[in-house]
Amino acid sequence: LLIGVPRETAAGEKRVATVPDVVEKLIKLGFSVAVETGAGDAANCDDDSYRAAGAKVAGSAAELFGMADIVFKVRPPTLDEVALLRPGATLIGFVWPAQNPELMAALQARQVTALAIDCLPRQLSRAQKMDALTSQAGVSGYRAVIEAANAFGRFFNGQITAAGKVPPAKVFIAGAGVAGLAAIGTAANLGAIVRANDTRAEVADQVVSLGGEFVKVDYEEEGSGGGGYAKVMSEGFQAAQRAMYAQQAREVDIIITTALIPGKPAPKLITAEMVATMKPGSVIVDMAAEQGGNCELTVPGQAVVRHGVTIVGYTDLASRLAKQSSTLYSTNLLRLTEELCKTKDGVINVNFEDDAIRGLTVVKNGELTWPAPAPKLP
C-alpha cells in the first residue's frame, strides 16, 4: 500500500507527519511512500531528502491524496481534505472526535477508516511507544521554558561574576503531567529554582526526581479522577489552592501553567490580581491557552504584557520546535504502523482484538466505532 504525507494546512503549523528517516523504515515494512511537495520544508526536511529516502514527491494535495491508500497527518483534516481521501483509505493522525462532530460525520460519509492517535489508550504500557500526546507534550513543555527564558530579562542560573552577584530565577510550574514534568526538568537544567504543584499528589516524587520542589496545597483531598487524569476539585480545595498560588505569584519570576482536566475547561488558577502582584519583568507561559487558559489574562495565540508581566499564550509550542516534534511524532506513527503490519508486507490489518488498535479506531470503513469500550488492563 502507498502511504501519503500531505503538507499540513492549518495556519502556522510547521510539523510534518513523517520525516525522511522514517520513510526508509516504512519502505522496509513493504510500503511505498509519497509526500506532497514542500510538506517538510518548515521542519527542515526538503523534497530532495524525501527523494533520497525513497519517497515519491507529489506536486499537489489532490495528486497526493489521489494516490494514497493510507494518509499520515498531524492536525485533523479539513472537510476539503476529507473530500480528497479515496473511499476505503485509512487516515492516521489527530482527530479529537469529541470536539469535531462535523469531521466525524464527513469521515463516515467518505467511507474511510480513521485512526485517531489522540484516542490511543495511554494506560496500556505497550501503547507508550505510539503515544503522540506524550511526545508532543514533552516538546511543548521544553519549548514553554525556552519561550519564558526568551521573554525574561535575566539569567535562569545564579552567577557570581566580577560585575556582581546574580540570584537564580524562581520558576513555579502549575500541573506536573507530561508537559509540566518536561518543563520542570528543562528549567532545573538551566539552573533555576523550580517549584511545582499538582492536584494529583502521586506526582510529587517525579517532581523531586527532576530537580523540583513539590509545593502542597494545605487541604486534604484526593485529586485523581479516572485513568490517571485530574478531576474538578471542591470549592474548599480551590480556595486553599488560590491562597498558595497567590503567595507563589508574589515570590517567583516565572510561572508555567499546564493544568488540564479531560472534557472540562482549563481550571483558572492564576487570577488578574495575582498577576498584578508579580514583579515587573516576570513571565507567565500558559500552556492551557487553547483550552481556555489557566490564567485569567491569557490571550490565546499571543504574548501580551499586563501589569508589567509578559503572558505567553502560544498554542503552537510543539510546532515551534518542528524538527524535533516531527521526528518524535513520525516515530510514534512508525510504531503504530508496525503494530498494524505485523506481516511486514506493506498491508495493514485494523485488528479489533488488539485493545490499542481498537481504542484509536474511530471510524472503520465508514462505520462509527467511537467511543471504544475501555481496554482490558493486564
Residues 146 and 268: their CA atoms lie apart, in Å, by 23
Neighbour count for residue 23 (Cβ, 10 Å):
28
Residues 12 and 191: their CA atoms lie apart, in Å, by 32
| Cα–Cα separations (whole angstroms), residue 305 to 150, 281, 298, 347 | 14, 9, 10, 53
Residues 134 and 150: their CA atoms lie apart, in Å, by 24
Could you give the 3-state DSSP secondary structure of residue 211?
coil
144 binds ligand NAD (CB under 6 A): no
Residues 210 and 182: their CA atoms lie apart, in Å, by 9
Reference 250, options 165, 170, 133, 162; nearest CA is 170
Nearer to ligand NAD, 115 or 173 (CB): 173
Residue of 128, 157, 277, 315 interacting with ligand NAD (CB under 6 A): 128
Residue of 175, 185, 212, 359 interacting with ligand NAD (CB under 6 A): 175
Q: How far is the CB of 132 from ligand NAD (least distance, A)?
A: 11
C-alpha cell at 56: 515519491
228 binds ligand NAD (CB under 6 A): yes
What residues from 240 to 269 belong to the interface with ligand NAD (CB under 6 A)? 258-262, 267, 269
Nearer to ligand NAD, 15 or 122 (CB): 122
229 binds ligand NAD (CB under 6 A): yes
| Cα–Cα separations (whole angstroms), residue 180 to 50, 256, 295 | 34, 8, 16
Residues 144 and 298: their CA atoms lie apart, in Å, by 14
Kindly indicate which of the ranges 8-16, 50-58, 130-138, 208-216 contains the residues binding ligand NAD, using the contact rule CB under 6 A: 130-138
287 binds ligand NAD (CB under 6 A): no
C-alpha cell at 358: 481498537
Residue of 4, 77, 177, 313 interacting with ligand NAD (CB under 6 A): 177
Q: How far is the CB of 265 from ligand NAD (least distance, A)?
A: 11
Nearer to ligand NAD, 18 or 134 (CB): 134
Pairing of strands 164-166, 170-174: unpaired
Residue of 176, 183, 252, 289 interacting with ligand NAD (CB under 6 A): 176
Kindly indicate which of the ranges 43-51, 60-68, 107-115, 229-237 contains the residues binding ligand NAD, using the contact rule CB under 6 A: 229-237
Could you give the 3-state DSSP secondary structure of residue 244?
helix
> H helices within 192-321, ranges in order?
204-209, 235-251, 272-277
Kindly indicate which of the ranges 12-20, 38-46, 109-117, 198-206 contains the residues binding ligand NAD, using the contact rule CB under 6 A: 198-206
What residues from 178 to 197 belong to the interface with ligand NAD (CB under 6 A)? 178-180, 197
Torsion of CA 342, 348, 352, 358, to 10 degrees: 100
Nearer to ligand NAD, 145 or 260 (CB): 260
Contact partners, residue 253, CB within 8 Å, separation at least 6? 152, 154, 169, 170, 171, 279, 281, 282, 283
Nearer to ligand NAD, 48 or 222 (CB): 222
Residues 25 and 15: their CA atoms lie apart, in Å, by 19
Residue 127: DSSP 8-state: G
Q: Which helix (H) or strand (E) holds 48?
A: helix 47-53
x-or-dash string of contact with ligand NAD, 11-40, rule CB under 6 A: ------------------------------
Kindly indicate which of the ranges 129-137, 156-164, 187-195, 330-338 contains the residues binding ligand NAD, using the contact rule CB under 6 A: 129-137
123 binds ligand NAD (CB under 6 A): yes
Nearer to ligand NAD, 256 or 297 (CB): 256
Nearer to ligand NAD, 198 or 316 (CB): 198
Measured from each CB, the residue nearest to ligand NAD is: 177
Q: How far is the CB of 371 from ligand NAD (least distance, A)?
A: 17
Whose cell is 517525579? That residue is 206
Neighbour count for residue 271 (Cβ, 10 Å):
16
Residue of 90, 108, 134, 282 interacting with ligand NAD (CB under 6 A): 134
Residues at the contact surface with ligand NAD, assessed by CB under 6 A? 122-123, 128, 131, 133-134, 137, 174-180, 197-200, 228-230, 233, 258-262, 267, 269
